[in-house]
Amino acid sequence: MSKSEEQILVIRRQLFDELGSFQGLSSRVESYLGEFLKRENNFFVARSAAEDDPTLKQIIPYAIFCYGNKILHYTRGAKSGEKRLVAKESIGIGGHINDSDESLFSFDESAYHAAVRREISEELVLGGTFTERVVALINDDSTEVGKVHLGVVHLVDLENDDVRAGEMAIAQLGFGTREELLARRENFETWSQIVLDGFSELSVRI
């Protein structure tokens, strides 16, 4: 392993199963996230090892940006870190949590939210302020990508629609209503399909 290889935050799949694994969306955020962010329950491993190890779950913030009743969407470009999702449309902005995000003594909730804001600032250039909150978890064991990832869904309310891409992995940015995006559902990556399908079942609505 190269000394410079990316180290990413993971939990053991066994912990997820003990807490109650599920397929799709779950709004029981506190039942899971609090346990995931206990220092004894998470650790960092080389990304190359985690990508092919289904005994681990990589924790991935997945932020959904909304302005009014419209949702930000984009196409994953060739520079995307997850090559298996290139050219897919997505409504989720986010990525791995790295060891550089770790606080001095432990990886806790404050460190997690700092990592989320870092990821947002790297991937998007926002022309206004925003508020964000965690609304769900997302899991999909039906695909090879999904088996090794676990998403934390953040709903981000934007002050305005002045949004530009901050990196080349994000292309064709735009806004659309949930109904408009569902009309071309098959073009989206699986996590985005699950979120678009399931948001009406949660306590929040897009």
Q: Which two tokens stand for residue 92?
A: 């989720």
Q: How far apart are CA 69 and CA 57, in angstroms?
A: 32
Mean pLDDT score across all residues of the chain: 87
CB hemisphere CA count around 89 (13 angstroms): 19
Asked: is 7-201 a CATH 1.10.150.20 domain? The reply is no
Q: Which two tokens stand for residue 121?
A: 């600032």
Q: Is the pLDDT of residue 8 over 60?
A: yes
**139, 23 contact by CB (below 8 A):** yes
pLDDT of residue 77: 73
Strand-pairing partners, residue 11, are 57
Give the tens place of pLDDT for each residue, 105-162.
457 778 888 889 888 999 999 999 999 999 999 999 998 889 999 999 999 999 999 9
Q: Under 8 Å CB-to-CB from 148, ≥6 apart: which residues?
A: 50, 51, 52, 53, 54, 56, 57, 58
Q: Helix, strand, or coil here: 22? A: coil
Give the tens place of pLDDT for each residue, 57-99.
999 999 999 999 999 999 987 544 544 545 789 999 988 998 8
**49, 141 contact by CB (below 8 A):** no
**24, 194 contact by CB (below 8 A):** yes
Domain edges within the chain = 7-201
Residue type at 43 in one-letter notation: F
Position 167 confidence tier, pLDDT thresholds 50, 70, 90:
confident
Report the percent of the chain where pLDDT is more than 90: 66
